[in-house]
């Protein structure tokens, strides 16, 4: 019998099944996503309190293991864990034994041996979190971004932010504009939005769209039917309810993918002129960090339609809900499997 106190007043309307890992959203059911978003409302309420701390995860150990730079994801996981009273330990590749050549699996087994309940990992190699999930018997894994592949917690906070403003996402048009090729956010957003019934348009230069998408095969042949691609930003943004702008990932570009930044901005930048084509009341989002003046104009990034700072706030709440869900299971019972 668990003695763990539930988050006070948290409205958990639907019980979700226990999970040990969150690797991507492609295996999430709509019911799981809805339950997590409901749980997140309760976490937002905790964040708004004067004393932003509850004892819910006292005695649990959460480790962040980041092999790539991060501000939002790493800090929000740390803040989420601390607000729920978990012990949070941050490890970055720099300064760890990874610098002496220790393998990723050995590092993770070492942290498991220290009784980490959860490891939150960001890695430049797609699939790194899956590898750890296969090798660890007791410790859960959350994918905080792996290569170009997935960033499920970003997608969940994006869904939550859209839902707060729009209610249902069913039938909404969401244009995701920018460097789709290198974007793990676009891939996870695509799966989450498709599960929630939104219609997604992925838009960017032909060289920055994944070839399998451009040629209609879909990722691994399992591309959701309500996702399309378009290389024309004006057309993609027309009548959109939400415009999600993606960072031009200059650190992942190989030569020849772009004519020039000037040309890119001219044709794909989300700016005020282009936004006039969207629905009145369009919501503008960006996962961050931004290249202002490249993929998004400064006036749009900080304008009335922008939800970019709210995305950051909601990122803390969604990560609180995820930690709670993974570490306590249904109705606050500790998950041991």
Contact positions vs ligand CP (CB under 6 A): 70-73, 145, 154, 287-289
> Closer CB to ligand CP, residue 75 or residue 109?
75
Task: Count CB atoms within 10 A of the CB of residue 289.
Answer: 11
> Closer CB to ligand CP, residue 312 or residue 335?
312
Q: Provide the CB-side half-sphere exposure for 19 (13 A, CA).
A: 22
End-to-end CA gap in the chain: 15
User: Which one, of 313, 296, 317, 316, lies nearest residue 305 by Cα?
Assistant: 296
Q: Concatenated DSSP letters for 48-107? A: TSSS---STTTT-EEEEEESS--SHHHHHHHHHHHHTT-EEEEEESTTSGGGGT--HHHH
49-61 as b/e: b if 16+ CB within 10 A = eeeeebebbeebb
CB of 127: closest distance to ligand CP in angstroms? 18
> Closer CB to ligand CP, residue 16 or residue 83?
83
CB of 71: closest distance to ligand CP in angstroms? 4
> Closer CB to ligand CP, residue 26 or residue 146?
146
Tokens 């819910």 locate to 56
> Closer CB to ligand CP, residue 16 or residue 246?
246
Burial class, 79, CB count within 10 angstroms (exposed 0-12 / middle 13-18 / buried 19+): middle
CB of 3: closest distance to ligand CP in angstroms? 34
- Which residues, 6 or more positions from 254, have their beta carbon under 8 angstroms from its beta carbon? none
Is the peptide bond preceding residue 289 cis, with omega within 30 degrees of 0?
yes
CB of 153: closest distance to ligand CP in angstroms? 8
Q: Which two three-digit tokens encode residue 33?
A: 């996503």
CB of 29: closest distance to ligand CP in angstroms? 24
> Closer CB to ligand CP, residue 81 or residue 287?
287
> Closer CB to ligand CP, residue 233 or residue 246?
246
CB of 73: closest distance to ligand CP in angstroms? 3
CB of 154: closest distance to ligand CP in angstroms? 5
């Amino acid at each position: 019998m668990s003695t763990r106190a539930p988050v006070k007043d948290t409205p958990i309307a639907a019980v979700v099944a226990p999970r040990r890992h969150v690797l991507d959203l492609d295996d999430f059911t709509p019911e799981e996503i809805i339950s997590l978003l409901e749980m997140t409302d309760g976490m937002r309420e905790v964040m708004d309190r004067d004393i932003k701390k509850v004892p819910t995860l006292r005695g649990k150990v959460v480790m962040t293991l980041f092999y790539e730079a991060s501000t939002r994801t790493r800090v929000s996981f740390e803040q989420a864990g601390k607000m729920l009273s978990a012990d949070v330990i941050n490890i970055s590749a720099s300064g760890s034994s990874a610098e002496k050549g220790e393998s990723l699996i050995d590092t993770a087994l070492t942290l498991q041996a220290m009784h980490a309940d959860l490891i939150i990992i960001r890695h430049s190699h797609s699939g790194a979190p899956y590898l750890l999930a296969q090798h660890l018997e007791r410790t859960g894994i959350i994918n905080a971004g792996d290569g170009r592949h997935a960033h499920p917690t970003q997608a969940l906070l994006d869904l939550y932010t859209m839902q707060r403003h729009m209610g249902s996402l069913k039938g909404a048009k969401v244009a995701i504009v920018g460097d789709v090729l290198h974007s793990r956010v676009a891939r996870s957003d695509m799966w989450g939005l498709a599960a929630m019934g939104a219609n997604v348009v992925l838009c960017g230069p032909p060289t920055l769209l994944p070839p399998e998408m451009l040629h209609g095969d879909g990722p691994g042949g399992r591309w959701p039917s309500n996702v399309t691609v378009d290389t024309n930003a004006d057309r993609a943004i027309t009548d959109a309810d939400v415009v999600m702008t993606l960072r031009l990932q200059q650190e992942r570009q190989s030569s020849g993918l772009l004519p020039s930044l000037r040309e890119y901005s001219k044709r794909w930048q989300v700016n005020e002129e282009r936004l006039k084509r969207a629905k009145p009341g369009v919501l503008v989002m960006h996962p961050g960090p931004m290249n202002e003046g490249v993929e998004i104009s400064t006036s749009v990034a900080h304008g009335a339609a922008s939800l970019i700072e709210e995305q950051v706030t909601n990122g803390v709440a969604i990560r609180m809900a995820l930690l709670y869900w993974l570490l306590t299971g249904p109705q606050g019972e500790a998950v041991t499997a």
